[in-house]
Amino acid sequence: MKSSTRISFIAGFVVFLSLVSGVSFAAWSASSTQTATASAGAVALTTATASGASTISALGPHTYTASNQSLTKAITVRNTGTVEATVSTIAITRSGTLGGDQIAVKFWVGTNSSCAATTPVVSATLAGGTVSLSTLKMKLASTGSAILCTSTTFTGSLVSQAGKTTTATFAINSSAGTNWNATDVVAEAGRSFTQSIFQTKAPNAPTGTMCVNERSDYTVTVSWNAPAGFTTPNGGYNVYYDGSLIGNSTTTTASITGNATWADITIRAVASDGTMSVDSADIPVRPRGYEYRSGYYGIACN
């Protein structure tokens, strides 16, 4: 009887241990497997092609010649690890004279390098910061790749931003699970690009200025020759009266009215982006005549 009781007690004890061990092992197994793959360096990411060519740097150098002009490029994102990963964020840094808020940027998943527009789209600017790409649900199988289409658009004023430049750097990140992440291993130079705003070379000053008195005592007509190389389209010619802008002419003549004044009229050629030439030669004007009782009157070429 004593021997039988002892055996029954031991058997129950063994069953209890097996049950507890089974639950513990299952929890440990899930955690252990994830930790082992991540710690073995299986989460890895690159935006270079298989041949090592950078794809982010294709966004520059680029020069915008008009407002709301866009550039679209395909960024290849490759998972060089051994577990599935999800593209999670992109960190943007920049430097230069052109503010990052002047360049809008959009990201979407492409089916091929032509990057036809699709949804969803993540919108941001080059102003800097970390942008979440989670809504794109961009999953990369082990050793697989995908296309992250990227579009940049200059949204500012061509006149006020002319000649300014910015250099931006992207750092794309991927994640596996909740605790393991990988950042693009491409060197910074291969993840950077430069974009700038077109600046027209200032046109030459108008030449051959002339002045003709009109029949009215209060009107003269001034004319000039277009400067060499001043082609259309352009911004015409600004007309100045003693240094103050009084109008713009799309031709090479302008009628000036005035009364009892001495002044110099000058002309500036204006390029299509607002860039102006220096002043033309002065065109001096003076009063047309003098009356004893009322004094000087009218305007005349000097």
Residue type, 245: L
Last residue of a domain, one of 139, 172, 197: 197
Per-residue pLDDT of the chain (302 residues; tens, 9 = 90+): 444 333 333 333 333 323 233 322 222 222 223 333 444 557 899 999 999 999 999 999 999 999 999 999 999 999 999 999 999 999 999 999 999 999 999 999 999 999 998 999 999 999 989 999 999 999 999 999 999 999 999 999 988 898 999 999 999 999 997 788 999 999 999 999 999 999 878 899 999 999 999 999 999 999 999 999 998 889 999 999 999 999 999 999 999 999 999 999 999 999 887 889 999 999 999 999 999 999 999 999 99
Residue 227 belongs to a domain with what CATH number? 2.60.40.10
Residue 257 belongs to a domain? yes
My answer on whether 226 and 165 are in the same domain is no
My answer on whether 52 and 190 are in the same domain is yes
Last residue of a domain, one of 136, 164, 197: 197
298 burial via Cβ count (<10 Å: 0-12, 13-18, 19+): buried
Enter the pTM of the model: 0.64
My answer on whether 144 and 170 are in the same domain is yes
Last residue of a domain, one of 197, 215, 241: 197
Confirm if 275 and 200 have CB atoms less than 8 A apart. yes
**What residues make up the domain containing 297?**
207-301
204 burial via Cβ count (<10 Å: 0-12, 13-18, 19+): middle
My answer on whether 214 and 109 are in the same domain is no
Residue 137 makes CB contacts below 8 A (sequence gap 6+) with 86, 109
My answer on whether 215 and 150 are in the same domain is no
Residue 164 makes CB contacts below 8 A (sequence gap 6+) with 96, 97, 98, 102, 196, 197
201 φ/ψ angles, rounded to the nearest 5 degrees: -65, 135
Long-range contacts of 235-244 (CB under 8 A, 24+ apart): 235/270, 235/271, 235/272, 235/273, 235/274, 236/270, 237/206, 237/267, 237/268, 237/269, 237/270, 238/267, 238/268, 238/270, 238/276, 239/265, 239/266, 239/267, 240/265, 240/266, 240/267, 240/268, 240/279, 241/265
Between the two ends of the chain, the Cα-to-Cα distance in Å is 140
Residue type, 107: F
My answer on whether 164 and 292 are in the same domain is no
pLDDT at 179: 80
Residue 35 belongs to a domain? no
Count of structural domains, the chain: 2
Residue 116 belongs to a domain with what CATH number? 2.60.40
* Rg, C-alpha atoms of the chain: 36
My answer on whether 170 and 79 are in the same domain is yes
Query: How many Cβ atoms from other residues are within 10 Å of residue 294's Cβ?
Result: 8
pLDDT at 175: 93
My answer on whether 181 and 116 are in the same domain is yes
My answer on whether 224 and 273 are in the same domain is yes
My answer on whether 112 and 225 are in the same domain is no
231 φ/ψ angles, rounded to the nearest 5 degrees: -105, 165
My answer on whether 188 and 217 are in the same domain is no
My answer on whether 154 and 291 are in the same domain is no
